[in-house]
């Protein structure tokens, strides 16, 4: 859905017809059409080296990697890697493989320093006018300025989140639990604090056998008590997640259990079971990553910026970002030789803002109908028959576990994984004429079919029956309405200033008191009202939920009813209010409409889901670990600018235990 000027006006022109899609998206000085496709083989991340059984020491360091094809300059990135293996640093990170009921301890180390031990500034321009980590202080704030500032140049904070994990709060990677590197020159700069507001050594280090507390690190313990699934880890620092992930800070975490092992699915890992982290990037001609350094990239608005009177536009932050090059496992447009047999692929959409709608095509980019057999979603294997689809949506942050059978494809055939989602904010469906550029972002990677080297003894069962891990939703005990709202700028006529999540009375900023106070062991139904013009991927920490339904509503009528309600006092109950204030979204479902069931590829447990504009999306989730977590939009540029809220799980939600 194209609705912005400047950058998205360019996209509108490009999308006027399929034949017009000749020019790539704007980006860096490297023309994406000059990057050869399918020259380099796909990199399959090896397993992360451990330092002891179920124990890892993983650092973040500057790294130089050949992301573009051989003959092009290498790219400076940041990478996770084991501190006892200098060759393990890579984008994406090496894969952590864990077993159910075997807790894993990881000491995450911030080693973003140079050879002299001095901190290195960020690779990308960081906007200091957001509500962000703000190491110069006061930390975790939206700082004030007398003039429009330039990019932040100080030491870089990190905190790692294991996305989709059933985890204790002190190991969840709370956005304000960041920490700086142990650099020699931090005392000489203007930084007033090394850690964030929620970095407490007492919790971070209490379960860290073999490690002593030091500056620049935190030790997390992962329970691994949920069912086998595809998780991923990435940075989650307040107000700069988008930039830290863009540099390369992401990796797979595969949790195994006995049921999955007994299924004889395609494997082993790295040969017939392959993770695919799909991300979009833009590059400069020197090989460096391109990322916007001005709001002008988004919509051409050249100011005045914050703190100019009446300006609500930050100078550097862009509401969305779409790269013009597709990268899979840290390689641009790679290829993979596949035998005539079954393969298991674990898909991850690791993009900032880009939706993926993927299908197989032939060498002429015509769909060929080869099926993806969906055996698992974000939170593990599906129950019942694997769903065969020829196309699926994947929002930022979502994963999908599929089996693809190449046995009937002739040797020598080249298949192309195509992406037809738009090069712009997604509106819930692919509109003809608005597909991605088929010459660049419309292609992801190639599969070259070769002869099978041995009999294929792997199995795709007709029905799956994964055992319960105890964390599935039970009978619904609480029904809750939450909202998604975008704010039009008061000074920029073509763009938004930010978006916010909120409760049933409307939007709330990150620092507003907690409104999602949840009873421990409760199963809640959330009705998410998307009041914006775009789809948003909503991610809940701690839990794996089930999607119930989606339905379009009369959004104008709902908004009018919401506006007629007086704002609720923060933390106040609703007992004294008239029955329809706040309004019930179900009252505004369009006449004659039957709510639609989950998408075919949403048949299993989920932690991230697509919410479409003008619709209500219902889910049910079970919460059992007390403590402070978050829920947020997983468009990284959105969560970095107020589109995130805390949630608290308490034995008594009327007396919550959390104090953010």
What's the whole-number average pLDDT of the chain?
92
pLDDT of residue 213: 60
What pLDDT is recorded for position 418? 98
Q: Following DSSP, what letter does each residue of 66-108 receive, concatenated?
A: --SPBTBPPEEEEEEEETT-GGG-BSSEEEEEEETT--EEEEE
Query: Does the pLDDT at position 412 exceed 80?
Result: yes
Give the SS3 label for residue 338. strand
What pLDDT shows up at residue 21? 43
Across the range 78-93, mean pLDDT stands at 97
pTM above 0.85, yes or no: yes
The span from the CA of 47 to the CA of 95, in Å, is 5
Distance set, CA 623 to CA 170, 188, 524, 651, 659 (Å):
16, 45, 8, 11, 18
What pLDDT is stored for residue 24 in this prediction?
76
Lowest mean pLDDT among 137-141, 153-157, 197-201, 324-328: 197-201
Confidence class for position 11, pLDDT limits 50, 70, 90: very low
pLDDT range class, residue 288, cuts 50, 70, 90: very high
Q: Angle at the Cα of 310 (from 305 to 316), degrees rounded to 5?
A: 20
- pLDDT given for residue 19 in this prediction: 35
pLDDT for 17 equals 35
Contact yes or no for 224/56 (Cβ under 8 A): no
Q: What is the pLDDT of residues 376-405, one digit of tens each?
A: 999 999 999 999 999 999 999 999 999 999
Residue with tokens 């050249």: 302
* DSSP codes of every residue in 576-593: TS-TTSSPPGGGGBPTTP
pLDDT band of 2, cuts 50, 70, 90: very low
Q: Are 550 and 596 spatial neighbours (Cβ–Cβ below 8 Å)?
A: yes
Q: Kindly indicate the confidence band of residue 133, based on its pLDDT and cuts at 50, 70 and 90.
A: very high
* pLDDT for position 194: 84
pLDDT of residue 390: 98
Is residue 587 left, alpha or beta, with left meaning phi > 0 and alpha meaning psi from -120 to 50? Answer: alpha
What tens digit of pLDDT does each residue of 556-576 get? 999 999 999 865 544 444 444
pLDDT of 212 above 90 = no
User: 520-561: per-residue pLDDT in tens?
Assistant: 999 999 999 999 999 999 999 999 999 999 999 999 999 999
Whether the predicted pLDDT of 459 surpasses 60: yes
Which residues make Cβ contacts (< 8 Å) with residue 481, sequence separation at least 6?
Answer: 503, 504, 526, 527, 529, 582, 584, 585
Digit-coded pLDDT (tens) for 26-37: 999 999 999 999
| Share of residues in the chain with pLDDT > 90 (%) | 88
pLDDT the model gives residue 51: 94
pLDDT in tens, 606-639: 999 999 999 999 999 999 999 999 999 999 999 9
Q: For the chain, list the domains and their CATH numbers.
A: 7-33+286-450 (2.60.40.420), 55-257 (2.60.40.420), 478-650 (2.60.40.420)
Using one digit for the tens of pLDDT, what is the confidence trace for 15-64? 333 334 446 799 999 999 999 999 999 999 999 999 999 999 999 999 99
């Amino acid at each position: 859905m194209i609705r912005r000027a400047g950058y998205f006006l360019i996209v509108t022109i490009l999308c006027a017809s399929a034949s017009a899609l000749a020019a790539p998206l704007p980006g860096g000085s490297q023309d994406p059409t000059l990057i050869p496709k399918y020259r380099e083989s796909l990199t399959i991340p090896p397993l992360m080296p451990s330092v002891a059984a179920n124990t890892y020491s993983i650092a973040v360091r500057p790294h130089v990697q050949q992301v573009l094809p051989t003959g092009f300059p290498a790219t400076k990135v940041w990478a996770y890697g084991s501190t006892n293996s200098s060759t393990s640093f890579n984008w994406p990170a090496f894969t952590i493989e864990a077993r159910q009921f075997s807790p894993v301890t990881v000491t995450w180390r911030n080693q973003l320093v140079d050879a002299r031990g001095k901190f290195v500034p960020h690779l990308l321009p960081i906007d200091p006018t957001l509500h962000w980590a703000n190491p110069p202080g006061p930390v975790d704030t939206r700082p004030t300025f007398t003039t429009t500032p330039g990019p932040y140049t100080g030491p870089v904070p990190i905190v790692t989140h294991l996305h989709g994990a059933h985890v204790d709060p002190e190991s969840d990677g709370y956005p304000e639990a960041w920490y700086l590197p142990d650099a020699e020159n931090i005392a000489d700069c203007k930084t007033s604090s090394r850690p964030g507001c929620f970095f407490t050594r007492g919790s971070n280090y209490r379960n860290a056998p073999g490690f002593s507390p030091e500056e620049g690190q935190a030790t997390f313990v992962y329970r691994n008590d949920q069912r086998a699934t595809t998780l991923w880890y990435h940075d989650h620092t307040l107000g700069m997640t988008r930039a830290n992930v863009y540099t390369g800070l992401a990796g797979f975490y595969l949790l195994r259990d006995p049921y999955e092992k007994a299924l004889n699915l395609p494997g082993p890992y790295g040969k017939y079971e392959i993770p695919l982290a799909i991300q979009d990037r833009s590059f400069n001609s020197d090989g460096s990553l391109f990322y916007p350094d001005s709001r002008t990239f988004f919509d051409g608005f050249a100011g005045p910026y914050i703190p100019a009177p009446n300006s609500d536009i930050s100078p550097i932050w862009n509401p969305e970002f779409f790269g013009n090059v597709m990268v899979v496992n840290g390689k641009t447009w790679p290829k993979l030789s596949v035998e005539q047999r079954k393969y298991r692929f674990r898909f991850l959409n690791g993009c900032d803002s880009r939706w993926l709608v993927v299908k197989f095509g032939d060498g002429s980019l015509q769909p060929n109908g080869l099926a993806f057999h969906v055996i698992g979603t974000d939170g593990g294997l599906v129950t019942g028959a694997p769903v065969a689809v020829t196309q699926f949506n994947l929002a930022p942050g979502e994963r999908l576990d599929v089996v693809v059978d190449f046995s009937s494809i002739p040797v020598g055939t080249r298949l192309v994984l195509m992406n037809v989602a738009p090069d712009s904010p997604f509106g819930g469906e692919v509109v003809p004429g608005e597909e991605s550029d088929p010459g660049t972002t419309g292609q992801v990677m190639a599969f070259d079919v070769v002869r099978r080297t041995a009999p294929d003894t792997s199995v795709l069962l007709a029905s799956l029956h994964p055992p319960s891990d105890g964390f599935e939703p039970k009978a619904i005990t609480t029904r809750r309405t939450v909202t998604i709202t975008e704010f039009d700028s008061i000074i920029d006529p073509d763009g938004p200033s930010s978006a916010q999540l909120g409760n049933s009375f409307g939007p709330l900023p990150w620092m507003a008191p907690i409104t999602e106070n949840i009873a421990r062991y409760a199963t809640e139904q959330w009705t998410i009202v998307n009041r914006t013009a775009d789809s948003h991927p909503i991610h809940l920490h701690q839990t794996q939920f089930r999607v119930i339904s989606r339905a379009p509503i009369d959004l104008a009528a709902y908004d009018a009813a919401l506006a007629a309600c007086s704002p609720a006092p923060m933390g106040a109950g609703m007992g004294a209010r008239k029955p329809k204030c706040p309004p019930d979204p179900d009252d505004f479902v369009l006449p004659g409409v039957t709510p639609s069931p989950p998408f075919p590829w949403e048949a299993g447990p989920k932690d991230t889901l697509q919410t479409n504009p003008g619709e209500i999306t219902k889910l049910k989730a079970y919460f059992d670990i007390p403590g402070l977590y978050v829920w947020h939009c997983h468009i990284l540029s959105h969560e970095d600018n107020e589109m995130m809220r805390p949630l608290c799980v308490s034995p008594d939600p009327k007396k919550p235990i959390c104090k953010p």
